[in-house]
Amino acid sequence: MNRDRLWGIAAITVTSLLWGTTGTAATFAPDVGPLAIGAAALGIGGLLQAAVALPALHRERGTLRRRLGTVLLGAAAVAVYPLAFYSSMHHAGVAIGSVVSLASAPLASGLLERFVDLRPLSRWWMLAAGLGIAGSAALCASTLDGPAADAASTLLGIGLGLVAGAAYASYSWVVHRLMTAGIGRAAAMGAVFGSGGGLLVPVLLLTGAPLIASAQNLAVAGYMALVPMFLGYLAFGVGLTKVSASTATTVTLTEPAVATVLAVLIVGEHLGPLGWAGLGMIGLVLLLLALAPTNTGPGARSVQDPADTLSRRSASQAADAPLAVGRTKTWHARSWSPEQHRGSGSPPRSSSRREATG
C-alpha cells in the first residue's frame, strides 16, 4: 500500500471536512448574497495563499513566468468557481447545487487527464467515481422533501453547478500540472489562488456591503475565508502532491456528505434511509481509493519536490563521476588517429599489443 497516496487522500479528506462546513456557516448570514459569500471566501482565502507563499513565488518567478498561460487559466477557474458554486446552491437549493458541482468535477478531471495529459484512467478510479456520483445522487434525492422549486431556477442552478464543477476540475488540474513540471507546492498554489483571489476583489467590492452590515455576517465571512478556504486549500495543495487531480476531486465527493451530517446535527434537518445509504456509498469511495493500486501507465507522472530532485541528481552525478573519469582514461589510453593507423579499419586493442607486434 502506497503510504504517500494514503497521506494525500487523508489531506484531501481534511479539506472536504472543512469545505463541508461552508453550507452550515452560510445559514448564519442569510441576508448575504451568493456572489458576496463566494468572493469573500475564496477571494480573501486566495490572497492569503499568495501571502504565505511570497518567498516561494519570488524564488520561482522565472519558471512561473514561462508558464504564465497555465497560471492564468487556473486563476480564471479559481475566480469562476465560488461565484458559480454558491449561485448554483442559491438557485437550485443546497442539495442539488452542491451535488451537481462536486459530482461533475471528477468526470471533468478524468477527461482532462485522459485527453490532455494522455494518462490512462484506472478501473479502480472509474469504480470509485461512479460509486461516489451514485452516492451523491442518493444523498441529493433524500433531501428533496420540501416544496418543488421553480423549474427555470432549478435548471439555472444545475447549469451553474456544471460550470462550477468544470472550474474546480480545471484549477485542480492546473495546480497539479505546475507541480508535475517541478514548481513547488507553495509557489503553484500561491500563484494560481493568489491571482484568482485578485480577480475576485472587484466582485467583493461591488457586492460585499452586507458582509459588514452586522458583526455576525462579518464573522461568517471571516470564518469561511480563513478556515474552509485558506486552511482547506493548504491541505488540498499537500494532497495534490501525492495524488492526481482526478483522485483528489473524487475524494472531495465527501464534502456534501459532511454538509448533510452537519445539517442533521446542527440545523436539524432530517435524513431518510436513502440518504444514509448514499453516505455509506461515499464512505466506500474513500476505502476504494485508499486500498486501490496506484494508477500507473505510459503517461503517469508523480509529483516530486524540486529540492529533492536536485539533491538526488547531484548525488547521482557525484556517484557517476569516478566511472566517467575511468571511461575517459580508457578512451585516452586507446585513442588513435587515421594518420597513425592509415589503412587499418579499426583501432588497435591496446598499446601493449602494438608494441608486441611492432
Give the other-Cβ count within 10 Å of 296's Cβ: 12
- The pLDDT score that the predictor gives to residue 186 is 95
Residue 309 has pLDDT above 60, yes or no: no
Q: Which of 86-95, 240-249, 280-289 has the highest mean pLDDT?
A: 240-249
Q: Which of 94-108, 119-133, 167-181, 294-308 has the highest mean pLDDT?
A: 167-181
Residue 162 has pLDDT above 70, yes or no: yes
- The pLDDT score that the predictor gives to residue 11 is 94
- The pLDDT score that the predictor gives to residue 1 is 52
Using one digit for the tens of pLDDT, what is the confidence trace for 88-102?
888 877 777 777 888
Domain boundaries, the chain: 3-304, 320-357
Please state, in angstroms and as integers, the Cα–Cα distance from residue 40 to each residue in 17, 78, 325, following that order: 20, 13, 61
Q: In the structure, what pLDDT confidence band is assigned to residue 298 with cuts at 50, 70 and 90?
A: very low
- The pLDDT score that the predictor gives to residue 43 is 96
Using one digit for the tens of pLDDT, what is the confidence trace for 168-178?
999 999 999 99
Is the pLDDT higher at 271 or at 76?
76
Task: Supply the mean pLDDT for the chain.
Answer: 80
Residue 336 has pLDDT above 80, yes or no: no
Is the pLDDT higher at 66 or at 331?
66
Give the other-Cβ count within 10 Å of 261's Cβ: 16
3-class DSSP state of 340: coil
* Lowest pLDDT segment from 67-71, 131-135, 218-222, 302-306: 302-306
On the CB side of 126, how many CA atoms lie within 13 Å of its CA?
Answer: 6
- The pLDDT score that the predictor gives to residue 181 is 92
The dihedral sign for the CA sequence 65, 69, 75, 76: positive
Which has the closest alpha carbon to 245: 338, 170, 161, 351? Answer: 170
- The pLDDT score that the predictor gives to residue 353 is 41
Number of H helices, E strands in the chain: 17, 0
Q: What is the pTM of this model?
A: 0.75
Residue 326 has pLDDT above 70, yes or no: no
Cα separation, 352 vs 358, whole angstroms = 10
* Lowest pLDDT segment from 171-185, 195-209, 342-356: 342-356
